[in-house]
Amino acid sequence: MIADQMHKTEKMTGARMFLECLKKEGVDKIFGYPGGVILHIYDELYKCDFIKHYLVRHEQAAVHAAEGYARITGKPGVVLVTSGPGACNTITGIANAYYDSYPLVVFTGQVDSKLIGNDAFQESDIVGITRTCCKHNYLVKDIKDLPRVIKESFHIARTGKPGPVVVSLPKDVLTSKADFVYPDKVVLPGYNPTYEGHPMQCKKALKLLCEAQRPAIISGGGVIHSEAWQEIRELAKKLNIPVATTLMGIGTFPQDDKLSLGMLGMHGNYWANLAVSNCDVLFAVGTRFNDRITGCLKRFCKDAQVIHVDIDPCSISKNVHVDIPIVGDAKNVLNVMLKEFNTGKYTYNEDMRRAWVEQIDSWKSKKVIRAVENGIMSPQTVIEHIYNKTKDKNPIIATEVGQHQMWTAQLFKFSKPRQLVTSGGLGTMGFGFPAAIGAQIADKDRLVFNIAGDGSIQMNIQELMTCVDYKIPVKIAIINNGYLGMVRQWQEKLFNKHYSQTPITSPDYVKLAEAYGVLGMRITREEDIDSALDKAIEFNGPVIMDFIVEPFEMVYPWVLAGKPLNEVLLSNNSPEGGLGD
């Protein structure tokens, strides 16, 4: 055991100091993979009883697992890998966390300080490589700086707009000795996130929302990060305003509520896209207006006044012109607006609001037509069965990236935040399975499903061994259509059915499951779906379910790239310009 009673100025190695710093930050779980230059840390871990280390089978998976852990807990996920290829293998996960604002601290080994720049064995310039895809990074040059750097890293990762911080640890810093003194506070004069929105801007925003005839709210991932879901629900209810969510904001507003529009965007609900396209005031909270939710920027909300709340000032007016910008934490801003509304000085036209909601309800009569009806089990049917079997169990649903991801977002009625763990901005195949592992570690008693495609699952399928080693009972549902489905969909619609390199073969997943020592099932008929799901849920361990589905099903609604949100395709037979409004 690393002694708690040790005097705080006792000299210790950087490796031991590293673990003591993590303890100070309340870290008790890390994801990693050992290597030469960080063996001193792993030797200290061997004697450590306050940190649980999870050995993954690939460094990318370590970062994705940490992302899943961060999504569920709201705390920074922690990663430890070696130098060179170990560090380089984390890049995709770091970039994914950066785009989706997952708080992470990623520690990578580095060669001896005197060898940096000499092309030493397993050297890579991880600081340079990650400069554009992390919130901040450090190269520790002196052991005396190590406690300060670690404290700053956790502070930066979790505050303001959350994100990944990378810390490069040269071998000589880990082996040298110094007095251990952990800082009491962080002093970063150049880093001061704005948490309180300007009061006058909040009042102007509230006044405009009350004057609006056709207002709409977009609730983004920032609402989850600031834990502002109760506030946005209360404001929507008080002002009778419909709410759409981004992919990363799913769960911030109950999808079974009458004011819920569900997800908007490229594959969002038809009525959500029309509501946002036809609103006269748009209130966007915690979203950076990614192109997947705006469509053609020149025609996005072209007749609306836009209010944008975000803790990151760089996100405001970056993509969409904003009439009332509010820089601040979503929870604080919404509380100010609610308190102001409760003064009784504000009213809105209830008849106009009622007519607006009724107009949106009429758009809901437009139904998506499933593209293929040839007797083969449809992927949507499988996902609907998973939803019906899990909806009362407060599950965590992780996804990979592709058609199955969009169907999950469309067909699950998420009512709570932190239920969906998915990759938004970077669209990372191979994310879902290790992220599901991290989510299960974060909440060991929850039911965790990873809904996967047959392309994505093969990118990190080696993590089955991690599940076996640590008895992590993640349930994997593979929507197996024999194609890289989303890419094939584009090829069918836009490239004259030239299915170039999109047919993909899979192993026998049942035999693969047997090889790993987990439960495997293949399901080919709709009547067998429920019994397979029951068996998987009851089984106390990891499960692979291989659902063989129709290969040519399409994801609708669909706004083609470059088109405005109100030009929505609902089926293969939709007019090329979309249905419009």
The answer as to whether 371 is a domain residue is: no
Q: Is the CB of residue 134 less than 8 Å from the CB of residue 206? A: no
Q: Is 142 found in the same domain as 100? A: yes
The answer as to whether 350 is a domain residue is: yes
Q: Beta strand 281-285 with 305-310: parallel, antiparallel or unpaired?
A: parallel
The answer as to whether 580 is a domain residue is: no
Q: Which residues are catalytic?
A: 59, 121-122, 171, 486
Q: Is the CB of residue 161 less than 8 Å from the CB of residue 100? A: no
Q: Is 203 found in the same domain as 124? A: no
Q: Is 429 found in the same domain as 331? A: no
Q: Report the alpha-carbon distance of residue 29 to residue 21 in Å, rounded.
A: 13
The answer as to whether 576 is a domain residue is: no
The values of phi and psi at residue 119, to 5°, are: 60, 45
Q: Report the alpha-carbon distance of residue 577 to residue 567 in Å, rounded.
A: 6
The answer as to whether 491 is a domain residue is: yes
Q: Is 521 found in the same domain as 402? A: yes
Q: Is 512 found in the same domain as 384? A: yes
The answer as to whether 544 is a domain residue is: yes
Q: Is 356 found in the same domain as 504? A: no
**Boundaries of domain holding 305:** 199-363
Q: Is 341 found in the same domain as 395? A: no
Q: Report the alpha-carbon distance of residue 360 to residue 6 in Å, rounded.
A: 65
Q: Is 348 found in the same domain as 386? A: no
Q: Is 398 found in the same domain as 536? A: yes
The answer as to whether 303 is a domain residue is: yes
User: Residue 58 has which token pair?
Assistant: 């690939």
Q: Is 393 found in the same domain as 345? A: no
Using DSSP's 3-state secondary structure scheme, residue 394 falls into: coil
Q: Is 233 found in the same domain as 135? A: no
Domain closes at, from 145, 179, 213: 179
Domain closes at, from 363, 387, 403: 363
Q: Give the CATH number of the domain where residue 391 resides.
A: 3.40.50.970
pLDDT tens digits in sequence order for the chain, 581 residues long: 444 444 456 799 999 999 999 999 999 999 999 999 999 999 999 999 999 999 999 999 999 999 999 999 999 999 999 999 999 999 999 999 999 999 999 999 999 999 999 989 999 999 999 999 999 999 999 999 999 999 999 999 999 999 999 999 999 999 999 999 999 999 999 999 999 999 999 999 999 999 999 999 999 999 999 999 999 999 999 999 999 999 999 999 999 999 999 999 999 999 999 999 999 999 999 999 999 999 999 999 999 999 999 999 999 999 999 999 999 999 999 999 999 999 999 999 999 999 999 999 999 888 777 766 677 999 999 999 999 999 999 999 999 999 999 999 999 999 999 999 999 999 999 999 999 999 999 999 999 999 999 999 999 999 999 999 999 999 999 999 999 999 999 999 999 999 999 999 999 999 999 999 999 999 999 999 999 999 999 999 999 999 999 999 999 999 999 999 999 999 887 765 566 55
Q: What is the number of structural domains in the chain?
A: 3
Place of tokens 């509010």: 326
Half-sphere exposure of 308 (CA within 13 A, CB side): 22
The answer as to whether 4 is a domain residue is: no
Domain closes at, from 334, 363, 392: 363
Q: Give the CATH number of the domain where residue 314 resides.
A: 3.40.50.1220
Q: Is 132 found in the same domain as 81? A: yes
